[in-house]
């Protein structure tokens, strides 16, 4: 078992903090701490007749260690929501909190610090440097982090312990995505936000990537949110949330999480 983020404090220097009763590890009911809270969250791109209302009042909560799958048609607002939770974009209205910090009033410098210290991102296209090895790609991040994993440890966690010194250009798509996951988790982020991590992969390869995410969630305790278009993937989550037209229209709690290995799509 690899020690995760739970021993770390959740400082975000100069980030506006406000009192949030559930910011402690567990609240009075014994429930796990709230990591994200959104209330009436809205996002409008542009203005005037061409304005697009990407989020129309999202209310959601995510607790520490949860594995959440976000489903929804193209254009329903999934990436917009993830980007606001990850500090990549500003909301237009409402509130989004990470632990006891208000993301909606944070300025760019505060959001940059929040992303760097607390968020790991995984995107559909891996954004790796092909002329570097797997280990070197991960090391680019760990050199900047305060309490990183050893790159070899992060790569072993995603099943690439035998590929440390392979150039990324020599790896398969699924292996490259697992290097991207290793890179994202090596700084021991609080949360891992994944936008269609299996979108460019066939089912068998996608399962290997999901198994890596499962393992990080179970063994490191990282809170994971995964956007996907493949509805069966919702089976591996604690909860599935479905977005439609900028709102969460359905939430399903899985009494029992499936193993990624049994999925097909």
By DSSP bridging, strand 239-244 and strand 223-227 are unpaired
User: Residue 46's binding partner, choosing from Mg ion, ligand ATP, none, with beta-carbon cut-off 5 to 8 A by kind?
Assistant: ligand ATP
Residues 144-163 interacting with Mg ion (rule: CB under 5 A): none
Decide if residue 45 touches ligand ATP (CB under 6 A). Answer: yes
Record the tokens describing residue 103, joined without a space: 């993301």
Q: Is 214 helix (H, G, I), strand (E, B) or coil?
A: helix
Is residue 79 near Mg ion by the rule CB under 5 A? yes
Contact status: 76 vs Mg ion (CB under 5 A)? no
> How far is 178 from 184, CA to CA, in rounded Å?
10
Joined tokens for residue 7: 């021993």
Regarding 46 and contact with ligand ATP (CB under 6 A), the answer is: yes
Site for ligand ATP, residues 98 to 127, rule: CB under 6 A: none
Q: By rule CB under 5 A, what count of residues binds Mg ion?
A: 1
Taking the least distance from each CB to ligand ATP, the nearer of 99 and 242 is: 242
Q: Judged by CB under 5 A, does residue 133 bind Mg ion?
A: no
Residues numbered 59 to 88 that lie near ligand ATP (CB under 6 A) are 72, 74-80
SS3 state of residue 111 = helix
Cα–Cα separations (whole angstroms), residue 31 to 28, 64, 112, 239: 7, 9, 30, 15
Shorter beta-carbon distance to ligand ATP: residue 179 or 227: 227
CB of 67 to ligand ATP, least distance (A): 19
Cα 234 to Cα 78: distance, rounded to the nearest angstrom: 14
9 binds, among ligand ATP, Mg ion, none (CB under 5 to 8 A by kind): none
Question: Cα–Cα distance between 162 and 152 in angstroms, integer?
Answer: 10
């Amino acid at each position: 078992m690899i020690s995760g983020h739970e021993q770390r404090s959740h400082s975000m220097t100069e980030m506006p903090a406000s009192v949030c009763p559930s910011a402690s590890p567990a609240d009075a009911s014994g429930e796990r701490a709230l990591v994200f809270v959104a209330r009436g969250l809205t996002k409008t791109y542009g203005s005037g007749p061409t304005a697009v209302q990407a989020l129309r009042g999202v209310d959601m909560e995510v607790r520490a260690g949860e594995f959440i799958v976000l489903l929804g048609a193209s254009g329903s607002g999934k990436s917009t929501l993830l980007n606001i939770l990850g500090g990549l974009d500003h909301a237009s209205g409402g509130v989004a909190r990470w632990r006891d910090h208000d993301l909606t009033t944070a300025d760019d410098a505060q959001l940059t610090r929040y992303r760097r210290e607390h968020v790991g991102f995984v995107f559909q296209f891996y954004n790796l440097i092909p002329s570097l090895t797997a280990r070197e790609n991960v090391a680019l991040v760990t050199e900047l982090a305060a309490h990183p994993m050893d790159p070899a440890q992060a790569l072993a966690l995603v099943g690439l312990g035998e590929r440390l010194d392979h150039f990324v250009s020599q790896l398969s798509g699924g292996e490259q995505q697992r290097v991207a996951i290793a890179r994202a988790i090596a700084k021991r982020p609080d949360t891992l936000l994944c936008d269609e991590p299996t979108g460019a992969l066939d089912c068998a390869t996608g399962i290997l990537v999901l198994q890596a995410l499962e393992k990080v969630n179970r063994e490191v305790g990282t809170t994971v949110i995964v956007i996907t278009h493949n509805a069966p993937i919702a089976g591996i989550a604690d909860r599935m949330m479905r977005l439609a037209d900028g709102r969460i229209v359905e939430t399903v709690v899985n009494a029992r999480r499936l193993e990624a290995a049994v999925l097909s799509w």
